[in-house]
Structure 1
Amino acid sequence: MPFKSQKSRLGTLSICLLVITSLAACDQAATVVKHDAYQWSIPAGFPKPTVPQDNPMSTAKVSLGRYLFYDKNLSMDQSQSCASCHLQSQAFAEKLVVSIGSTGEHHRRNAPALVNIAYNKTLTWAHDGLTELEQQILLPLFGEQPIELGAGGNEAQILSRLQQGPYPKLLQDAFPEHQGPMNFVHVTQALASFVRSLISLNSPFDDYAYRGQDSALSETQLAGMGLFFSEKFECHHCHGGFNFTQSTSHEKQPLDRRPFHNTGLYYTKRIGLTTTKEVSIHYGYPEIDRGLAEVSTNPKDDGRFRAPSLRNISLTAPYMHDGSVATLAEVIDIYAAGGRNVTTGEHQGDGRNNPLKSPFIKGFDISEQEKIQLLAFLESLTDSDFITAPPLSDPWPEAEK
């Protein structure tokens, strides 16, 4: 994948935000419709996610978003849909190291799992300003570096496809006060509503911890749970709370927490030029992706990324922001070592020596039995209902794909 500059990436986001602002101005009707109270698929005892006031949840809007999510007509060449990179069977992630867009361009990041992101305080791997799905969805739609769905410059053609099949009825149900064809405000609001509906809170761990089913976890998983929440391993510091991530927001969470972490994955040589055009050598995360530092421009944010939820984590390999770690066992080994020592390839360097590494990544001793127990506990966070639920599956008949 060709290297994309920091300026280019930030420019793409700015363009996307301008697009949605102009689209919203063209059709205010899409944001003022009142709906009946949406029935969340949330077990008793869990808080409800917060939802933007200008895009309230409704069953009809979720239904429209579901059709759009699985529709390849949303891409410039009808080759990909949102579901192409977010497969239900993989907890709405994919098995590729990094995603590949509709033009065949390889991205620089691994597709994150869409698990309970209605609860996420921030979105994407490393952006502290993206807090609403309506904004984030603009990136796969209109982003140009890299191109994902490639809607930019193809808006009229794509929208013309969305005037056929079930869409007129779905649009009328979702936005009853709107007169006329679908626009990209409807698209982004409906997609955001569907993605917010992807709630996963029915794992064996939930049966044990929240529903009092003592037999839901095996002895091995219980031992692993003890290790996970121990001060020795520190896992819960970055993956705490009911959603197993610090980056959590909901109706009962008043704090504005936007944590990002450098986990010592890299500490590689970077060669650049000074203002006097002399060669300068620095060390840190690879230039291809420096994490939050690209947005904040603060050098101390180099290599800082959002800790994802660990729910359904056993289904979402490969791991890390760039998909560079193949298995959960390898992830544990890296944290046990206090970072990763890359000895081959273009990003060689000892991440254990990264001075910006989180203080929680300090290394620990772990036996093979303890590793088995910890992996068993992580397996208990898998929600088998989530990955097979018909309301979240592809609604299109096979003949219409």
Structure 2
Amino acid sequence: MAVPLRSVTVAAVVAAGAWLLLSGSSADAFRWNLPAWVPPPVVPADNPMSVAKVELGRHLFHDPRLSADSRMSCASCHHQDKAFTDGRAVAEGITGEKGARSAMGLANVAYLPTLTWANPLLKSLEVQALIPIFGEHPVEMGMAGREAELFARLRSDATYRRLFAQAFPPEARLGEAALYSLSTVTKAIAAFERSLLSFNSPYDRYKYGGEPQAISAAAKRGEALFFGEKMECYHCHGGFTFNDNVTHSRLPFPEFGYHNTGLYNVDGQGSYPADNPGIGEFTGDASDRGRFRTASLRNVAVTAPYMHDGSIATLQDVIRQHYAQAGRSTSATGQPSPMRSELLVGFEVSDDEVNDLVAFLSALTGPDFLPDPRLGNPWPSR
């Protein structure tokens, strides 16, 4: 899902925790059941949340019939037990073609002002949903030019006939002419993705819930390291989402964070591999070489491998071999990137400190988020 926006065909575009209450009739009002310390997400005016729309989106998200060969769903690259990423270094489509970047986890995606590793222009979940379904560079789900076939598949299924009618009744279509369209499909998927909320980790219960024993002594020592001046993790991974890219209903303006962490230095001058140049590909600014969006650290213990290209296998290696070294050198000079963020200065770290920091990061995993059946596959045979 990290494919640049321009990979979607023009025809396709033109043709187009905290837990959600999913029980009851389609008329039930949608409610965010958020703790007081978490603000509600921003929801587009033309795609209001509803219980029925989220349930339709859940079915679409997990349905392989949205791919050309009916083998790949959105969930193929976004597994619930991995916080909605896939455990691969880079995503792979139905043809076996690999993308350049790792599939991002979708927990709390409703709070992101931009949605991919390196495209600062892609800000809408509704638009983003088009990319894996119809994108061609690389091919993911392979439905480019097959919109009519997709709608025929949906119409032929009795479950979808009921769900689409409930999610988009005539009085709530907001100008939608067709019940089955790229607009209704992507709005439903986006609504489901906004419901993927994870704010009930052991650390949350310790920090906000008055449960001092919710995390271990090691995790408490790791918390001190995380928020301390030695490692300075909190500068880019602060706030309730544990990153520096955030938008929500109480924030007047979105906050954006893109950083060059010195992961590559292929020419000794800070360059990254040609297939992963960072946001400079879109801005045209040489100073943006190697800058990628900060990832959230919520559920990070289950989202390996790490970094935008999945090039680091474990959290221990992320700490020891990357951040402690002020960036990883891949140049002939053996020097860290001169383009890396000024926040990366390196640090000495012991094995005990690494273990403590990993214990803290592990305490950010939402244990009830990963197995919640309300977010899982509703198709028993698919």
When normalised by structure 1's length, the TM-score is: 0.87
Is contact 1:117-1:196 (8 Å) kept? yes
Matches for 1:155-194 after TM superposition, within 5 Å: 155-163=147-155, 164-177=157-170, 181-194=179-192
Matches for 1:40-189 after TM superposition, within 5 Å: 40-163=32-155, 164-177=157-170, 181-189=179-187
Corresponding residue for residue 231 of structure 1 = 229
Measured in 2, the distance between the counterparts of 1:41 and 1:323 equals 33
Corresponding residue for residue 6 of structure 2 = 11
Post-superposition offset of 1:183 = 1.2
Corresponding residue for residue 281 of structure 2 = 294
Q: Which moved more, 1:176-185 or 1:287-296?
A: 176-185
Post-superposition offset of 1:11 = 3.4
Residue segments in structure 2 that go unaligned for 5+ positions in a row: 17-26
Measured in 2, the distance between the counterparts of 1:11 and 1:91 equals 27
How many residues get paired? 363
Post-superposition offset of 1:138 = 1.5
Residue segments in structure 1 that go unaligned for 5+ positions in a row: 1-7, 25-34, 271-281, 343-347
The two structures, once aligned, show a CA RMSD in angstroms of: 1.9
Sort the Cα spacing of 1:374 and 1:113 in 2 relative to 1 into closer, same or farther, 3 A: same
Post-superposition offset of 1:231 = 1.2
Of all paired residues, the percent bearing the same amino acid is 46
Post-superposition offset of 1:341 = 2.4
Give secondary structure in 1 for the equivalent of 2:158: coil
Post-superposition offset of 1:353 = 2.7
Give secondary structure in 2 for the equivalent of 1:162: helix
Is contact 1:262-1:356 (8 Å) kept? yes
Give secondary structure in 1 for the equivalent of 2:248: coil
Measured in 2, the distance between the counterparts of 1:185 and 1:351 equals 50
Sort the Cα spacing of 1:351 and 1:326 in 2 relative to 1 into closer, same or farther, 3 A: farther
Measured in 1, the distance between the counterparts of 2:189 and 2:106 equals 12
Corresponding residue for residue 284 of structure 1 = 271
Post-superposition offset of 1:37 = 4.5
Post-superposition offset of 1:46 = 1.1
Sort the Cα spacing of 1:312 and 1:351 in 2 relative to 1 into closer, same or farther, 3 A: farther
Equivalent position amino acid for 1:213 in 2: E
| Residue 393 (structure 1) aligned with residue 376 (structure 2) | yes
Post-superposition offset of 1:350 = 6.3
Measured in 1, the distance between the counterparts of 2:45 and 2:332 equals 47
Measured in 1, the distance between the counterparts of 2:5 and 2:334 equals 27
Equivalent position amino acid for 1:374 in 2: L
Deviations 1:305-355 (A, max 9, x none): 01111000000000000000000001001100101123xxxxx55685312
Is contact 2:248-2:254 (8 Å) kept? no
Post-superposition offset of 1:10 = 6.0
Is contact 1:88-1:393 (8 Å) kept? yes
When normalised by structure 2's length, the TM-score is: 0.91
Corresponding residue for residue 22 of structure 2 = none
Deviations 1:174-210 (A, max 9, x none): 0001575511111100000000100000100000111
Measured in 1, the distance between the counterparts of 2:333 and 2:365 equals 33
Is contact 1:264-1:352 (8 Å) kept? no
Corresponding residue for residue 249 of structure 1 = 247
